[in-house]
């Protein structure tokens, strides 16, 4: 019988040290990543059975990672958070977290919750590709296909397209996109987003005046319309 694979996405080395030792001692296979980007890649390539996700990641906020994963897969997710307000915890659960632990926590409690989630939630692996008419998106690889022609994207172009595509028809605000891709300190730098959108549209051959994939809501944000 294969060991359940547990992916820990956290930027604190000490957290990795004691969680990896505890998981291994309990018969699990430990997978560790220090940032969101490598964690998402590991999620796609190594097919873990459960994710332990910290919210305070250096590249992409953990709540955004939670939303991205939850839109394309039902893998059990246990969130680690230093944000102890009740409203924040309710927000996490509504966003798709299956459970949470506030830092600092007891390792015995974490292991117990991992076992409960693995027992109670049946995980179906995510598809390797997302299909939208003539467009195919690979969730964790910076490449798309339009009518079987491959198009390579930059990391940020891919993040932007995926954020829109996993919320089809939903208006995503400029601020939310800026925070998800560049972080909180760039939440007002809308020119970054305009340049990125222009480059992405050029690669997708998507006309801003008569869009096929990405529609602009002037001054507000963007929505995926394919």
pLDDT tens column, 85-132? 667 777 777 778 899 898 889 999 999 999 999 988 776 666 678 889
Domain ranges of the chain: 5-120, 130-224
Is there a shared CATH topology between the 5-120 domain and the 130-224 domain? no
pLDDT at 140: 73
Give the confidence band of 20 by pLDDT, cuts at 50, 70, 90. very high
Level-2 CATH architecture, domain 5-120: 3-Layer(aba) Sandwich (3.40)
CATH architecture of the domain covering 130-224: Orthogonal Bundle (1.10)
pTM of the model: 0.60
Contact 72, 129 (CB under 8 A): no
User: pLDDT per residue over 132-170, tens digit each?
Assistant: 988 999 887 888 999 889 999 998 999 899 889 877 888
pLDDT at 128: 72
Look at residues 142, 158, 201, 181 and name the one whose alpha carbon lies nearest to residue 59: 181
Cα–Cα distance measured from residue 111 to residue 107, given in angstroms and rounded to the nearest whole number: 6
């Amino acid at each position: 019988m294969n060991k359940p694979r547990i992916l820990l996405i956290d930027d604190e080395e000490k957290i990795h040290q004691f969680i990896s030792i505890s998981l291994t001692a309990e018969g699990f296979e430990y997978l560790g990543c220090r940032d969101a980007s490598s964690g998402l890649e590991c999620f796609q390539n190594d097919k873990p059975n459960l994710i332990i996700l910290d919210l305070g990641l250096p590249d992409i906020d953990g709540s955004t990672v939670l939303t991205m994963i939850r839109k394309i897969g039902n893998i059990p997710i246990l969130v680690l958070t230093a944000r102890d307000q009740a409203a924040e915890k309710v927000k996490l659960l509504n966003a798709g977290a299956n459970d949470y632990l506030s830092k600092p926590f007891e390792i015995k409690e974490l292991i117990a919750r991992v076992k409960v989630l693995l027992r109670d939630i049946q995980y179906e692996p995510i598809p390797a590709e997302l299909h939208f008419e003539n467009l195919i998106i690979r969730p964790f690889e910076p490449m798309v296909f339009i009518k079987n022609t491959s198009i390579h994207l930059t990391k940020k172009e891919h993040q932007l397209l995926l954020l829109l595509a996993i919320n089809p028809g939903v208006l995503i605000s400029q601020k939310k996109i800026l925070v998800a891709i560049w972080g909180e300190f760039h939440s007002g730098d809308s020119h970054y987003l305009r340049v990125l959108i222009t480059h992405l549209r050029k690669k997708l051959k998507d006309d801003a005046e008569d869009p096929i994939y990405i529609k602009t809501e002037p001054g507000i944000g963007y929505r995926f319309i394919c």
